[in-house]
Structure 1
Amino acid sequence: MDSFTRNYTIVLVAILLGLLAWWGSSVWQPRVWELNDLLEADAELADYPYQFRLVRLDGGVATLSTPRSFQFPAVRFLQLIHPELAGQSQDDPGMMAAQQDLIDHQKRAQGLMLAQPDVQRVDWELDVKWLSDHGVHAPSAGSSAMR
């Protein structure tokens, strides 16, 4: 093998190893997995039709998935998990109870995260994958201002 081919191969392998290391570090998140296990193990959250999950943990900020945001109101989500509420107004007693149930579950997920020593704050991110899986075209993902 001539020197150019050898050097080219070395550079190419180094780039590939660097990319593999970068990918591995972004995927390997045992603390996120551990906290998601905590959310899944909670009996109250496990009974709810939507499973809150930790999307990422970065610098003490836990970003949790949510089925609602300012761009995608809770009423639309609630009509998905409670078809009997379809067409009901926001001030319907059943809709109000379902909204309170969602709030209670969201607060519980938030509380579980804030009880962790390495979590100082919780942000929320619209779960567009869950919505898409349920036939809803939702706005693109991004952290919402809900805290």
Structure 2
Amino acid sequence: MKLRRIKSWQWVLIVLALLVALDWVIRRPDARSRELNAILAKEASPKLRDYPYQFEVLRVEGKTAVMSTPRNFDVPAFRMLGALYPNINVKDANNPEFVAVEHLLGQVQDEARHIVLAQPGIAEVRWELDKTWLRRHGIEVPDR
């Protein structure tokens, strides 16, 4: 039986596949984070489950769950809400529609936080800005 030689383009594909697999292994949440995300999905109200942004536990550091958020002081809520609700004037803080979606954002974020805090071994939630989501939605994120 004759052995085939692997061509250079095939080596490139093999290396790329290995790099993608390595990146996946590095980025995937640990077992505790996956468990908390499963609980979050299971216990979420329909309002949280259907919300266009999905809050998730990124990692657990001791008794602190680090969760993703699309807003903080560097990226105000109106920017991400503008991406989620392009038909609403988010620049007018008195616009009733804007007030409603801003309130909804606070409600679903609070619910996600409370579900995670209710789990054994979790005493605190720390929010981490979801820069990837923001950039995917065309929102500039300051580098810090």
Name the TM-score, length of structure 2 as normaliser: 0.74
CA distance in 1, matches of 2:137, 2:98: 20
CA deviations on 1:76-106 (whole Å, 9 max, x unpaired) are: 1111101111454012111111110000000
CA distance in 2, matches of 1:67, 1:90: 19
Corresponding position of 1:37? 38
Corresponding position of 1:116? 119
CA RMSD, 1 decimal = 2.0
Matched to 2:122, the amino acid is V
Specify the SS of the correspondent of 1:91: coil
For the pair 1:102 / 2:105, whether they are aligned, the reply is: yes
What is the total number of aligned residue pairs between the two structures? 118
CA distance in 2, matches of 1:53, 1:76: 20
Unmatched 5+ residue regions in structure 1? 1-23, 142-147
Unmatched 5+ residue regions in structure 2? 1-24
* Distance verdict in 2 for CA 1:140–1:45, change over 3 Å: farther
Corresponding position of 2:13? none
Q: Tell which has more relative contact order, 1 or 2 (C-alpha 8 A, sep 6+).
A: 2
After TM superposition, what 4+ stretches of structure 1 lie above 3 angstroms from structure 2?
Answer: 24-28
CA distance in 2, matches of 1:79, 1:26: 28
CA distance in 2, matches of 1:32, 1:88: 36
